[in-house]
Amino acid sequence: MPVEWAGLGPELLVTIDRDGGAGLRDQLEDQLRDAIRTGRLAGEERLPSSRELARVLGLSRGLVQDCYAQLQAEGYLTSRPGSATRVAADAATRRAAPPPPTRPDRPRHPVADFRHGVPDLRLAPREDWAWAVREVCRGAPNAAFDYGDPAGERRLREVLAAYLRRVRAVSATADQVIVCAGMAQALGLVLRALAADGVDTLAVEDPGAIGSTTEQANAAGMAAVPVPVDEDGLDVAALDRTGARAVLVTPAHQWPTGVVLAGHRRQELLAWARRRDGVVIEDDYDAEFRYDRDPVGSLQGLGPDHVVSLGTVSKSLTPALRLGWVVAPDRLLGALTRGKFVADRGSPVLDQLALALLVESGRFDRHLRRVRAEYAARRETLLAALATHAPGLRVTGLAAGFHAVLHLSAGADEAEVVDLASERGVGLYGMAGMCRATPPAPRLVLGFGDTPRRSIDSGIATVADLLKRDMTVE
């Protein structure tokens, strides 16, 4: 599709060397031919008027008209009375033909894809977000269009602090909130601040997001060491033996096992932090989505002086917004703010104000209620499908979030089940790649956040025999 320019005419990069040996008209003709042949000027794209191009280049209009006429005679340009001069539609075909457009690839898993860690992007509240952006643009003061506070807009930080106190029992004021570009940046900022304070080792849950977290730690100049997770969550005694002074945990819904950090482990973890003068980094990644049990409060509310809490709207709204936050103790706020300023000078101001308005207006809570009901329905569909097509297999981790853990029989080959399911058009994902300990028990992480209900049942039915393969009575 040709580019259409508004206004008097499009700008065109042409340089004229008046000290060279080539004539002015020859230079102009050669550069226009080259721009068309190489595709810099596309077929049917409009050129500046002869008057405008002559003015910009400091040439006579007659010279530019002669140049246009010559290129028309050669078939590079076209012109009709009352219409702009344009590149001929087929002129660019004289250069090497581009490869034919490829058809979109067929979905890798056309029957069902139980990919985890992603919400249903079709549920993103587009109309609510468009409303919030319109309202912000209509009423925001001129200062809102300048660079903002690197720590985040005050209005959003106040809204987030109030929201987190209300729904997550966080103990924080607006001054302790740093707005950032999603979870990855939030964690990176925290790790660099800790490294600058002399922390050289980060403990991470095993199983967990070990690979990506290790990369983040290494980038900050820290080593990452795994700590086992059992049915009560992180093993604090094992953590103590590592000598680490920082640990990353997912206490409300451990990733990927789904267990909740037990009350006694919470107290043990906070006692460890106080004894070591350590820092607990709490990833509160899907705490908004709980189903058949009461919500679990934030760990930060129990130990605000030693816990850094990370949150984001990637699961609740959409990852595309790239908005998250850090709730940090006072001693880290200066380093975090400086780190954010160095990284990008601050998150987009208008998006921050739109998010604040979305929460203040109640539309964010209404959206959460709608999507929570949909995810709960998918959860029930998954449980029913497993009960029908793979009875006897244990399912855990379903109290919250978008995924469940399916425990295969002790004799099952996790990797083989995943490979054979893929051949049938079903995406299954094993837990082995998330574990540092060996050999892990064979388990599948079944995501249902981005899997429609109709696909859940058909997907489980398609691989039912694989799931039951080598099943033994536990």
| pLDDT of 474 strictly over 60 | no
Counting residues of the chain whose pLDDT is more than 90, the rounded percentage is 70
| pLDDT of 473 strictly over 60 | no
Query: What is the Cα–Cα distance from 402 to 383, expressed in whole angstroms?
Result: 13
Given this model, what pLDDT does residue 8 score? 45
- Centre a 10 Å sphere on the Cβ of residue 21 and count the other Cβ atoms it contains: 6
Nearest one of 92, 31, 88 to 57, comparing CA atoms: 31
| Strand, helix or coil for residue 215 | helix
Q: Where are the domains of the chain?
A: 1-102, 112-118+366-467, 124-361
CATH class of domain segment(s) 124-361: alpha beta
Q: Which residues contact 73 (CB under 8 A, 6 or more apart)?
A: none
Q: Looking at per-residue confidence, does 401 or 123 come out higher?
A: 123
| pLDDT of 96 strictly over 60 | no
pLDDT single digits (tens) 415-428? 999 999 999 999 99
pLDDT single digits (tens) 31-65? 899 888 888 888 888 888 888 888 888 889 999 89
Highest mean pLDDT among 12-26, 93-107, 214-228: 214-228
Q: Looking at per-residue confidence, does 71 or 21 come out higher?
A: 71
Nearest one of 205, 155, 192 to 350, comparing CA atoms: 155
CATH superfamily of 112-118+366-467: Aspartate Aminotransferase, domain 1 (3.90.1150.10)
pLDDT single digits (tens) 122-174? 999 999 999 999 999 999 999 999 999 999 999 999 999 999 999 999 999 99
The overall longest dimension of the chain from CA atoms, in Å, is 92
Alpha-carbon separation of residue 212 from 31, 48, 184, 277, 313 (angstroms): 49, 51, 9, 26, 20
pTM, two decimal places: 0.82
Tokens 């909740």 label which residue? Answer: 260
Q: Looking at per-residue confidence, does 15 or 100 come out higher?
A: 15
pLDDT single digits (tens) 347-360? 999 999 999 999 99
CATH fold, domain 1-102, is: Arc Repressor Mutant, subunit A (1.10.10)
| pLDDT of 107 strictly over 80 | no
pLDDT single digits (tens) 276-324? 999 999 998 877 787 766 678 899 999 999 999 999 999 999 999 999 9
User: Do 1-102 and 124-361 have matching folds?
Assistant: no
